[in-house]
Amino acid sequence: MTFLIDEIALATARLAEAGVPSPRTDAEEIAAFVHGVPRGMLHTIKDADFDARFWEGVARREAREPLQHITGRAYFRYLSLEVGPGVFVPRPETEVVAGWAIDRLREMDVTSPVVVDLGTGSGAIALSIAQEVALAQVHAVEIDPVAYGWAKRNILEHGQGRTTLHPEDLTDCLRELNGQVDLVISNPPYIPPGAIPRDPEVRDYDPSRALYGSGEDGLDEVRAVERTARRLLRPGGFAVVEHADQQGNAVYWLFAEENGWRDVRLRQDLTGRDRFVTARLTQD
């Protein structure tokens, strides 16, 4: 294990020099993946069993390839999901969005709440809700064929029985559920077309379709989510929509009172940045 400790220390220095935000954690995650053990069990690896493929993974991360593409896994709340090229890697800030929805669903006086996740990507939000809300019936919508494939794999692993995947566009999906849904949630594309994400992991590896919204402000997909949520929700049902930290006010005003929305709130992530808007459909 002494040799592996030294190798991890060297890898940490290389990743830090490359600007990787969490170099020690990433070096340990790569070592754990290569050696087929949980990160907490790295101390059990004998020096003689060191796998030189560790350095291949370090070189990929040093080039700012996402850790999740190297290991093939992304952690989201209590789930370990399969991810890779062609699907958006779920982020920690979205865990807060999903958590708010889960709390509201648990508070509802509904035996088997119906939930729709618009643009599910890897299935992270949909599967977290299905796992954490007893008897929830979750519908995950994804039109992109590559992302659909990743979501299908994850649903087969984690969500069989209570998560249904639909290859439909979020603008015109699930008309059979009109007026019957308890909560609609979405992390749609919202980056304005002219903006360039700062992090190479996002800019160079996440699929552009999952990043860049339509329209000058990038919010046309959010507008579509608002219309679809208004159609799908029962009176008193909730809409939950993620956005960029500088878009909060713009998204807030998309959920207009004249369209039947009330209790519209701008909410923050764990860093205190505006991250998502919640609204409730009028019960009258």
In this prediction the pTM is 0.93
- DSSP secondary structure string for all residues of the chain: -HHHHHHHHHHHHHHHHTT-SSHHHHHHHHHHHHHTS-GGGGGG--GGG--THHHHHHHHHHTT--HHHHHSEEEETTEEEE--TTSPPP-HHHHHHHHHHHHHHHHSS-SS-EEEEES-TTTHHHHHHHHHSTT-EEEEE---HHHHHHHHHHHHHHTTTTEEEE---TTS--GGGTT-EEEEEE----B-TT---SSHHHHTTS-HHHHBPSSTTS-HHHHHHHHHHHHHEEEEEEEEEE--TT-HHHHHHHS-GGGTEEEEEEEE-TTS-EEEEEEEE---
Same domain? For 168 and 277 the reply is yes
Annotated binding site for substrate: 187-190
Same domain? For 220 and 173 the reply is yes
Of 88, 238, 255, 276, the catalytic one is 88
Give pLDDT, residue 2.
Answer: 60
Give pLDDT, residue 247.
Answer: 94
Give pLDDT, residue 284.
Answer: 66
CATH of the domain at 96: 3.40.50.150
**Domain span at 34:** 2-63
Of 76, 154, 188, 255, the catalytic one is 188
Q: How many domains is the chain partitioned into structurally?
A: 2
pLDDT per residue as tens, the chain (284 positions): 566 788 999 999 999 999 999 999 999 999 999 999 999 888 888 888 888 899 999 999 999 999 999 999 999 999 999 999 999 999 999 999 999 999 999 999 999 999 999 999 999 999 999 999 989 999 999 999 999 999 999 999 996 678 999 999 999 999 999 999 999 999 999 998 888 888 999 999 999 999 999 999 999 999 999 999 999 999 999 999 999 989 999 999 999 999 999 999 999 999 999 999 999 999 76
Give pLDDT, residue 207.
Answer: 93
Of 187, 238, 255, 276, the catalytic one is 187
Whether 50 is catalytic is no
Whether 187 is catalytic is yes
Same domain? For 170 and 212 the reply is yes
Give pLDDT, residue 1.
Answer: 54
Identify whether 69 is part of a domain.
no
Same domain? For 9 and 120 the reply is no
Same domain? For 91 and 46 the reply is no
Give pLDDT, residue 169.
Answer: 96
Same domain? For 53 and 86 the reply is no
Whether 197 is catalytic is no
